[in-house]
Structure 1
């Protein structure tokens, strides 16, 4: 039996940062990762970093305006190589940051609980038992595979992970699911040169957004040639020698249609990855969605075991996992003042082209709460910086409390919105009146100065 001060299952953002924190304090740490291709976690290997690398390359591809598909395919192949170089370097750095630390032992294998303080690690050659009075679960989330006939073992069907290993650009790509992940890949592959069709089973696109924002997103993506089929229920994905055949039903008309494609992407969501952990043996409970139940200090139903990152449900962002690290750090070594319910509001960005960023309440949500609000809107084409970039599609929107002047929410569908939203987030977190942004001196020309006009 190998004894440690702390065992961390999963090499993601929260887990690896906690491992370094414990090691810095002289504690003996075991960190378990099931795959040598996942050192550093989802973000580095199959999430933020590879997708945003490809988003950047796709933007370059869109600007090249090549006419021959073979040229587009060659550029795409080079972009995949760039992505591999970036992720490979970061993966190697993350591995050695911990593996080279004398207080850290990295185990490459699958971890599962034997009891409340013992974890079995099955490597390629053996099973090793580890024990500790403190264990942290950081196993992330996994792609939901919908029960569609023909998707299992279909060589033309991909997830958001596997499609980024595809080195040949598909002429025709069908994306099942019109959520944020689906839209990011739709925008990316359309920019590379694929003919993209998005099949969404709901009548509305990105239903959690206001309809004017969603309409602006849809219109902008349609300009890239993306075709949206709403109310589309996919029935099967068959494959022939060189293509897939996607059959779907229009839920409004009951008509049945078929689409040919060289690739089919399943973008139907992600769920907490708890399979094989044997949580029952540790007294760790999950909710109805399979997420590990935690308190405000990220303790599970076994107080000696914590969960950080996507495995506990909620917002699935790397920066949330990093904040989970801060909560655990302050609870164990600090003043215990940081808690999960302290961090709202939290912003997010969807890296379509242009990006969509949001924080707080939208107009529909504010109205449902019967709040007395002021709604501000600004078209992206009114922003000088957008004109200099030649990127004038989009819409900016803000929701303000009429009685207090506080910013309740903000939606930015415009270039650089993933950066600008952070300025709004700081103002909201600090409790500043909207006039702070209205009157702030921003550089010119910049996208940030659009906040002057938006909040005027």
Structure 2
């Protein structure tokens, strides 16, 4: 049995940053990653980087090109995505493997005791022991129990579809959540006919209805078809069979490719967590305290595996909490980071922080609401993209911003300004009267905050 100061299961953002930080302090670290295609974690290999690389290429696609030209451009885009991810994957591997204090094991890790992890590799199985163990195994796609989905070569997940080298003429997406909308927007821009099947009566239910309506309108202008109340019954080869929950009618769609965008869940299968005294909640997420300790205080969880928001920057902030807990005063904790902003990279992007108007009213807050059509923003005119809607919710009793949703060009950047103002507990007038550069999308905050 090999002994280390720390074992990290999963080569994701928080884990790899922690490994480097521990090694700098002369800790011996074992990094376990089950696949040589996942060095660097989800973001680099199957998440943010490849999807945003493809989304950028899609935005530059020639909408007037012939189908053969669109296919060729798509193949080039996939090849470019592969170049980017391969480069970053290798760079991430070298950053750790070249460190004399870090040993990278490519294999599947599972607990055989509260401080022992067994690693099953291609050539051998070994056991590792450490006083500190960190679980950073991320999340996995939820495969719904739909007949005809399993082992169907035409059915993809958000991971496998990015390996699809041929542009589908008709892409059917099962699920109208954020992941589904990102892929719908991207493939429509590449030139595919896209149909989204959403089982609920509303699109992106956690957003206010005016925002959701604006998103749907913009995406429909791209040629995307939305079928709400659509309950998928089965997949027969390339045919998707679904029922309209309102009328009861059984309908069919013939597709060239089918994408399952039905959510993700913490990846804990095979970890044998009970052997380590680590408990999970009803959703399968590892239970942690404010300092990311599990029910075994010597084992901590990082990133998506503990549930909650599934973003790379949350995993990185988990590292900061661990760093302060292990080597600082331990004052940083999970609840400190609320609220957290997020962006959905449809075209234009949808970004939000804090409460929606609906949530604020349900909490009984006395609020002021303002909306700004993107068409009223000069910079949007110069960009030639005037679709979308900006919206802010302010507590009328304190003048503090409690929520903001920005659906428009460059919103993924502008939302960070709102986030900083909220973190600094500034009143909305701080942004109303701030001097921004002109013309810029950020200066729209002057008008948006003019309540």
TM-score range relative to shorter protein = over 0.9
Q: Is the 8 A contact 1:66 1:72 kept in 2?
A: no
1:117-132 paired onto structure 2 within 5 Å:
117-132=115-130
CA deviations over 1:86-134 (Å, ceiling 9, x no partner): 1011000100000000000000000000100100000001001100011
* Deviation for aligned residue 1:335: 1.1
Q: Which residue of 1 aligns with 2:262?
A: 268
Give SS of 1:173's match.
Answer: strand
* Deviation for aligned residue 1:66: 2.6
Q: Is the 8 A contact 2:174 2:198 kept in 1?
A: yes
Q: Is the 8 A contact 2:367 2:396 kept in 1?
A: yes
**For the aligned residues, what is the CA RMSD?**
0.5
Q: Is the 8 A contact 2:63 2:191 kept in 1?
A: no
Partner Cα distance (2:154, 2:369) in 1: 45
Give SS of 2:153's match.
Answer: coil
Partner Cα distance (2:31, 2:417) in 1: 36
* Deviation for aligned residue 1:162: 0.3
* Deviation for aligned residue 1:67: 3.5
1:13-24 paired onto structure 2 within 5 Å:
13-24=13-24
Q: Which residue of 2 aligns with 1:133?
A: 131
1:171 pairs with 166, 169, 172, which one? 169
CA deviations over 1:421-454 (Å, ceiling 9, x no partner): 0000000000001011001010111100000010
Partner Cα distance (1:32, 1:75) in 2: 37
Give SS of 1:70's match.
Answer: helix
Give SS of 2:131's match.
Answer: coil
Give SS of 2:241's match.
Answer: strand
Q: Is the 8 A contact 1:38 1:91 kept in 2?
A: yes
Partner Cα distance (2:422, 2:7) in 1: 37
* Deviation for aligned residue 1:403: 1.3
Q: Which residue of 1 aligns with 2:98?
A: 100
Structure 2 unaligned blocks of 5 or more: none
Aligned length in residues: 450
Partner Cα distance (1:255, 1:206) in 2: 24
Q: Is the 8 A contact 1:399 1:408 kept in 2?
A: yes
Q: Which residue of 1 aligns with 2:70?
A: 72
Q: Does residue 359 of structure 1 match 2:379?
A: no
* Deviation for aligned residue 1:270: 0.2
Partner Cα distance (2:355, 2:89) in 1: 36
Partner Cα distance (1:155, 1:10) in 2: 28
**TM-score between the two structures when normalised by the length of structure 1:** 0.98
Q: Which residue of 1 aligns with 2:339?
A: 345
1:15-414 paired onto structure 2 within 5 Å:
15-61=15-61, 64-239=62-237, 244-414=238-408
Partner Cα distance (1:275, 1:70) in 2: 43
Partner Cα distance (2:63, 2:402) in 1: 41
Q: Does residue 447 of structure 1 match 2:449?
A: no
* Deviation for aligned residue 1:358: 0.1
* Deviation for aligned residue 1:65: 2.0
Give SS of 1:183's match.
Answer: helix
